[in-house]
Structure 1
Amino acid sequence: MVVAELAHHEGEFAGGEAYSRRFGLVHVDFPTGRRTPKASCHWYRSLIAERRSGR
Structure 2
Amino acid sequence: MADDTVWNYVNDFLAGEITRNIFWELAKFKYPTHQISFHTLKGLDCLKFERSEIINE
Q: TM-score, normalised by structure 2?
A: 0.27
Higher relative strand content: 1
Q: TM-score, normalised by structure 1?
A: 0.28
The structure that has the greater radius of gyration is 2
Bigger relative contact order, structure 1 or 2 (CA pairs below 8 A, ≥6 apart): 1
